[in-house]
Structures are given as C-alpha cells and as structure tokens.
Amino acid sequence: MLKDFLEGKPLRHPVHPLLVHFPIGLFILSLLLDLASLAFPSVPNLVRDSFYAMLVGIITALFAAVPGFVDYTDIRSDHPAKRTATAHMILNLLVVALYGINLGVRSSMLADSKIPLLPLVLSLVGVALLSASGYLGGRLVYDEGISVGRHKRRTPTPEDTLHFSAAHFAQNEQSDVVFIPVPEAERLQEKETLRAEIDGQVIAIAKIDNHFYGFQEFCTHRSGPLSEGSFEGFNVQCPWHNSCFDVRTGKVTNGPAKVDLKTFKMEMRDGKICVRIPPKNRKTNA
Ligand code: FES
C-alpha cells in the first residue's frame, strides 16, 4: 500500500521525477544567489538567502530520495538499467552529502556580503554532480523506460524470470510440438502475469477471465516489457508508450506499435498448465 503510494499509483504519475524538481531548482537558486552576492555585494542578505535555499533543497532532496529508492528496488536485477540506477543513486547521495558539508561551512558566514571561495566552489561541484546525476536519471527514463507507465499497473509485476529448455520436455528431436508445464501459472490472480524464458525466447503469461494467454514479452515497438503492462479486457497495454495488443491473437489494437505480437497457445495437459512451443520456435541439439 505504502509502496504503491510511493510509486505514484494513486496519482497515476511516478512520484520521484515529480519531486526532484524542488531540490534541483533550489540548489541552482542557491548558486545564482551566491553569484549575485559577488556581482552586487551592496544588496543585503544574498548570502543568507542562498543558505536557506540550500537548506530547503537538502530537505526536499531527502523527501525525493524515498520514492526514488522504492523505484530503485523495483528494477529487476537482470535489467541493464540497474547499473545506471545504482550510479544515479550514489551520485545523488554524494550531492546531498556535499551540500550538507557546504551548509555547515557557510553557517558561520551568513552576515557576509559576498560568498567566500570555499562554499562557492562546493556549490559549483555540487551543481556539476547534480547535472551528471540528472543526465543518468534522464537515461533511465528515456532509454531504459524505468518508471514509465508502471504506476498504471494495479497488480504486482513479476520479480523473476522462470527458465526452461524445450529439449528437456521433448519426447524426441522430431516431436512436432513441445508442451512445457508452467505450474507457477496456477498461482496467478486475475490480470497478473509471469515471465518465462524458453531457450532464449522470453514469454509473458497472463491470466485473464480465468484463462491463460502466452505472448512475447518484448513489445514490437521498442521492446517495452509487456509482463509489466496493464490490462483492459483482453488488451495488454505496453508500459512504455501505450501500444495495445489483443493477447488472444497478438494483433495491435493501438499504436505506436505496427507489428503484431507472437502468441503462444496455453493448454491443460495431464492436469498441468502448459505453454505450447511449435517446432519452428525450438532449438534442437542437432
Ligand atoms: S515499447 Fe513503445 S509502445 Fe511498447
């Protein structure tokens, strides 16, 4: 519940990118006030005002860090964005620590008419690190799709990917089709998904209206993760740019995607839920 709130589900908007505007704006304001104190030393209280802008900046940065950390813990450990997100988090912690030191240094200089060199240099370094961290944050959103659209999903997203090999279940190498049992699907609730990798092919399995549907995990537009998408009727909506696909047929029902999804038939075999892998989707050892 609290996690949903911090991910912005009630707002239908991620919270961390919304809050980071406050510390970024306040730290830059603080630097501008420092520079103004050098250009216009006769204007009163510029150094003091810069101090308070920085103080409020640190407080808002700590607020923004909480939903940011929740978003971080939600990134799959096998996702390439995890490293970028770790670098983004470390840089942000460094920035806050640096501004904390800066605040301590300048706390005895509030009556000065010009900002001294040391706190000014600390502010310049702080803004440089903040810019680098902001660049990484932008990459996480625009390149990696982190926090894009996931707040729309009402049910939990799958944490891990299951791994199978079709060869393990084949009667022999000439078998027409292979049925791979996925007992984990029995635990799915309505509109929940799981993710399975079969010989390098990643498949999302969803439960809708008490039936199971298998379809390719990666969206045909820019490879958004469909196992993290939201469902409307029999449509899965990609969390990245909102393309919709009918999970029964794989047909695109709303762009920007133009290419249909590959689908996989789900069948009950010997009382087990199985995904049907046709021969052209199988790797053989021949
Ligand atoms: S990746 Fe763009 S809509 Fe799916």
CATH code (residue 237): 2.102.10.10
pLDDT per position as a tens digit, 80-98: 788 999 999 999 999 999 9
Ligand 1 pocket mutation, candidates 152, 218, 222, 227, criterion most atoms within 8 A of CB: 222
The pick from 141, 144, 218, 219 for probing ligand 1's pocket by mutation, whose C-beta has the most ligand atoms within 8 angstroms, reads: 219
Cα of 250 to ligand 1 centre, how many Å? 14
Domain-terminating residue out of 151, 175, 194: 151
In a domain, 286, yes or no: no
Kindly give the interhelix angle for 21-39 and 46-73, rounded to the nearest 10 degrees: 160
Over residues 132-150, mean pLDDT: 83
Atom of ligand 1 nearest to the CA of 223: 1
Strand order in the sheet with 178-181: 178-181, 272-277, 266-269
Tell me: do 191 and 261 sit in the same domain: yes
Q: What range defines the domain where residue 234 resides?
A: 158-281
Q: Which atom of ligand 1 is nearest to the CA of 241?
A: 3
Mean pLDDT of 192-204: 89
Instruction: Report phi then psi at 206, rounded to 5.
Output: -120, 150
Shared domain for 165 and 146, answered yes or no, is no
Ligand 1 site, CB within 6 A: 219, 221-224, 238, 240-241, 243, 256-257
| For residues 270-276, average pLDDT | 87
Block residue for tokens 């298998």 = 214
In this structure, are 10 and 85 located in the same domain? yes
pLDDT at 152 over 70: no
pLDDT band at residue 6 under the 50/70/90 scheme: confident
Choice among 146-150, 163-167, 181-185, 190-194 with the minimum mean pLDDT: 146-150
Q: Do both 61 and 167 map to the same domain?
A: no
Q: How many domains does the chain have?
A: 2
Of ligand 1's atoms, which has the minimum distance to the CA of residue 255?
A: 3
Nearest-atom index, ligand 1, CA of 257: 3
Question: Residue 99 domain-assigned?
Answer: yes
Which numbered atom of ligand 1 lies nearest the CA of 256?
A: 3
113 and 194 share one domain: no
100, 135, 151 — which closes off a domain?
Answer: 151
One domain for residues 12 and 145: yes
Instruction: Please give the Cα distance from 3 to 97 (Å, whole number).
Output: 26
Residue among 217, 243, 254, 258 whose CB has most ligand 1 atoms within 8 A, to mutate: 243
Q: Same domain, yes or no, for 8 and 136?
A: yes
Instruction: Give me the pLDDT at residue 146, please.
Output: 76
Are 185 and 112 members of one domain? no
Q: How far is the CA of 263 from the centre of ligand 1 (A)?
A: 17
- Tell me, yes or no, whether 91 and 182 share the same domain: no
**C-alpha 12 chain-centroid distance:** 14
Give percent above pLDDT 70 in the chain: 93
Burial of 159 (C-beta count, 10 Å sphere; 0-12/13-18/19+): exposed
Q: Give the pLDDT confidence of 57-77 residue by residue, as tens digits.
A: 999 999 999 999 998 988 877
Same domain, yes or no, for 55 and 162? Answer: no
